[in-house]
Structure 1
Amino acid sequence: MTMPDVEPADWPGRANQAARSVTQRFGRRLLFLPGTHLAAVRWPSKVLDSLLHPWHYWWQAHYVDCLVDAGRRELGNGATPAARFNGPGSPSAGKLASRLVTGIRLRNAFTFVNSYYDDMAWLALATLRLEALARETRKPGRRRNARIHKTLTLQFDSASTDHLGGGTFWSTKRDFKNTPATAPVALYYARTGQQAKAQRLVDWLNTVLFDQAQGLYVDGARLNAAGEITVENTIYTYNQGPVLGALLELGGEANLARAATLIRAVDKHLTVPAHAVVPGSPPDSRTSILRCDGTGDGGLFTGILCRYLALAAADARLPEGARTTAGELVTATAGAFWAGRRTQGGPVFSIHAAQPADATYPPGAGVELSTQLQAWMVLEAAASVQQGPSTN
């Protein structure tokens, strides 16, 4: 019996819907100031909630990254007003991202420096991509981007010390070195031509925080009262992402072999059964998807991992099996988020891809920004896998 042809999913169109949903529900000027943009942490919310609620610097950094993703798709469609994700009468995704960076600085007490090196690393990575987008659209970024990178590089240099044998401190308390800080800092160094620094950080991760039995990276390490190194063995999905990115950016036989190992381990240990077969999926499509980690900061975790799996899926240096697995993990997870969305008034995505949004965000419930950014990131990653290699 011949199976009917399956229409390919329109991942760019779905990513645009997620982009519109997040920017319209959560995005606003900061205190009505022109030239600014910032996301509320919950929806619905009031105007002053951006000042009254806890400040989530790194959520906003990932919002910048998502807007850059949308901007790259606008660029691929000619960078015309008609190509804009939110319609020709709206600012481009790149311009909105630039306003968001301004909003972050103002909300963060007129500086890009804060107490957490991982927060700063995420913003540094996002603004590197924003600067590249500005160059390609012939709209060079202001000197602000160069100042951001100069300022934050000094922060990373001060936090990446020989204590505990290497690695990057998590916070200015300087009592804990972990994968959440070390991995994105390593990736930032690799993307800014500082390969030796990046490789030293990756080597430390491989020596101290790589779990040989599972093939995954654990959380972090600290000195106990006796002066001995103790390791925090919790495994988080998102930590695997920037390590994978750094391995790919550095390249070389050992790093690429470790990247392939990491992809296999993610598939083995960090997946769960999907809640349903996604409508329109081929009959032999995978039924496991990436696990998700709840709300709050955990609401971002799976999206971050998918961003870097999408890069792996397009990297011809990796074995075909690893590339295929990476791409399938992304598209299957994106398909589950899309199939489980709540559609009234624009899509609302579930906290967990393995559960429908009606179960995790029933009508009337407040919706958290991190979880919606996560679904948007996953859909952007699926669009990237579908469209092939692009700037990272």
Structure 2
Amino acid sequence: MDAQQRAAQAAASVIARHGRRLAGLPGTHLGRIKAPSRALSELGPWHYWWQAHYVDALVDAALRTKEPQGSHARLARRVIRSIRLHNAFRYVNSYTDDMAWLGLAAQRLEALDPEVRRLGALHRAITRRLILASTEELGGGSYWSSARDFKNTPATAPVSLYFARGGDVERASALVRWLDHHLLDPDAGLFLDGIHLHRDGSTTVAREVYSYNQGPVLGSYLALGSEEDLDRAESLVLAVAAHLSHDDGSLKTHGPGDGGLFTGILARYLALAARDGRLTTTARSTASTLVEASADAFWSGRRGAAGEWIFPRHTDAAEDASQSGAVVELSSQLQAWMTLEAAATLPQEIR
């Protein structure tokens, strides 16, 4: 089975198992957080950013099928509508990264078909909040939440990418330069999690390294596209290969919950690098290998039947005993689906 067919089966499986109307309302659609689950579970614990990545995965499927007005694009628009309904008729919330991820997904959805109605209200609301979150305290960067006590990579990187893709190059560049200067570990070449700002004015660096934090930084480098940014993009790809992959070339994964999404996000941006002809063949080939090996691991670890596959949480089968139960989280299924979609976009000549 080729990469296109595998991605198609992943899309069908995740949508069938997790896709549901919001409270049964016509014209709505959200990803059920756990499946199987009781009726109206979409009204339970809210995972805004999981839904944003559900939109992104649906856009991937629409691009793969070359159907900008097809079923996947229609579902993506329904998810955006349903996020607003579930979120008390607002696009904004207390978390900067949530809004940035939805903004990025909306940008990609709009690019599918310029004739389709634009999402201007969404962008106006989100852009204003992202600007307010990006301040000069600590030298720049974006606050993670309305508490304004943590500036981090999870917020600053997708905010930078959102501005870069929206044409605000100056703001986007300033944010990614802040990450370069404050949160890039010079030894590993990877980005640390963030900087906590305490009430007494002191700061503490959160030194955790997560796979997904590297992804939108890589995307921002590619979107900005200066010689310096492309050099940094190549270095980041090589650092990911050196420190965030298994011996078989697949990307390392994280735990349940939010962690179940992390590596799928990185795979999306590595696939962008693999397709970018401005990068060296070595960087592109390395990025392609990381994505393809990860897709192979998720595919080989699946269980169930065609159209109903359940994908593993981890690329390392030895780590995946926790995914053997009856209840499956949306995050891990999106991760596998995103990675399989990313693999379906890889150029044949560097595979």
TM over 0.5: yes
SS in 2 for 1:288: coil
Distance 2:283 2:215 in 1: 14
What is the CA distance between 1:347 and its match in structure 2? 1.0
Instruction: State the identity %.
Output: 54
Any conservation in 1 of the 2:301–2:311 contact (CA below 8 Å)? yes
Any conservation in 2 of the 1:116–1:172 contact (CA below 8 Å)? yes
What is the CA distance between 1:289 and its match in structure 2? 1.0
What is the CA distance between 1:258 and its match in structure 2? 0.7
Change (3 A) 1:357 1:206: closer
SS in 2 for 1:384: coil
Distance 1:290 1:72 in 2: 24
Q: Which has the higher contact order (CA 8 A, sep 6+)?
A: 2
Q: Quote the residue 2:91 is aligned against.
A: 112
Deviations 1:114-139 (A, max 9, x none): 1100000000000011111132xx4x
What letter matches 2:218 in structure 1? Answer: L
Counterpart pick for 1:220 among 194, 217, 226 = 194
Q: Quote the residue 1:46 is aligned against.
A: 38
Distance 1:19 1:27 in 2: 11
Distance 2:112 2:117 in 1: 9
What letter matches 1:73 in structure 2? Answer: R
Change (3 A) 1:13 1:260: same
Runs of 4+, deviation exceeding 4 Å? 386-389
Any conservation in 2 of the 1:122–1:184 contact (CA below 8 Å)? yes
SS in 1 for 2:344: helix
Q: Quote the residue 1:15 is aligned against.
A: 7
Matched, 1:59 2:50: yes
Counterpart pick for 1:349 among 293, 311, 318 = 311
Any conservation in 2 of the 1:341–1:350 contact (CA below 8 Å)? yes
Any conservation in 2 of the 1:350–1:360 contact (CA below 8 Å)? no
Deviations 1:34-74 (A, max 9, x none): 1110111001012211112x100000000000000001112
Any conservation in 2 of the 1:348–1:357 contact (CA below 8 Å)? no
Counterpart pick for 1:340 among 268, 276, 301 = 301
Any conservation in 1 of the 2:61–2:72 contact (CA below 8 Å)? yes
- My pick for the range that moved more, 251-260 or 295-304, is 251-260
Matched, 1:170 2:170: no
Q: Quote the residue 2:125 is aligned against.
A: 151
Distance 2:215 2:97 in 1: 13
- My pick for the range that moved more, 40-49 or 367-376, is 40-49
Q: Quote the residue 2:285 is aligned against.
A: 324
1:127-206 counterparts in 2 under 5 A? 127-135=106-114, 138=115, 140-142=116-118, 145-206=119-180
Matched, 1:71 2:32: no
Any conservation in 2 of the 1:11–1:386 contact (CA below 8 Å)? no
Deviations 1:131-156 (A, max 9, x none): 11132xx4x124xx111011100001
Any conservation in 2 of the 1:66–1:373 contact (CA below 8 Å)? yes
Any conservation in 1 of the 2:161–2:216 contact (CA below 8 Å)? yes
Structure 1 runs not aligned, ≥5 long: 1-8, 81-90, 274-286
Change (3 A) 1:100 1:225: closer
- My pick for the range that moved more, 348-357 or 307-316, is 348-357
Count residues with an aligned counterpart: 349
TM-score, length of structure 2 as denominator length: 0.95
Any conservation in 2 of the 1:342–1:357 contact (CA below 8 Å)? no
Q: Calculate the aligned-residue CA RMSD, in Å.
A: 1.8
Any conservation in 2 of the 1:42–1:368 contact (CA below 8 Å)? yes
SS in 2 for 1:227: coil
Deviations 1:197-231 (A, max 9, x none): 00000110001001000000000012335423321
**Which structure has the greater CA radius of gyration?**
1
Change (3 A) 1:387 1:376: farther
Distance 1:178 1:124 in 2: 18
SS in 2 for 1:309: helix
What is the CA distance between 1:314 and its match in structure 2? 0.7
TM-score, length of structure 1 as denominator length: 0.86
1:300-315 counterparts in 2 under 5 A? 300-315=261-276
Distance 2:107 2:95 in 1: 19
SS in 2 for 1:271: coil
Distance 2:349 2:261 in 1: 24
What letter matches 2:117 in structure 1? Answer: G
Matched, 1:367 2:346: no
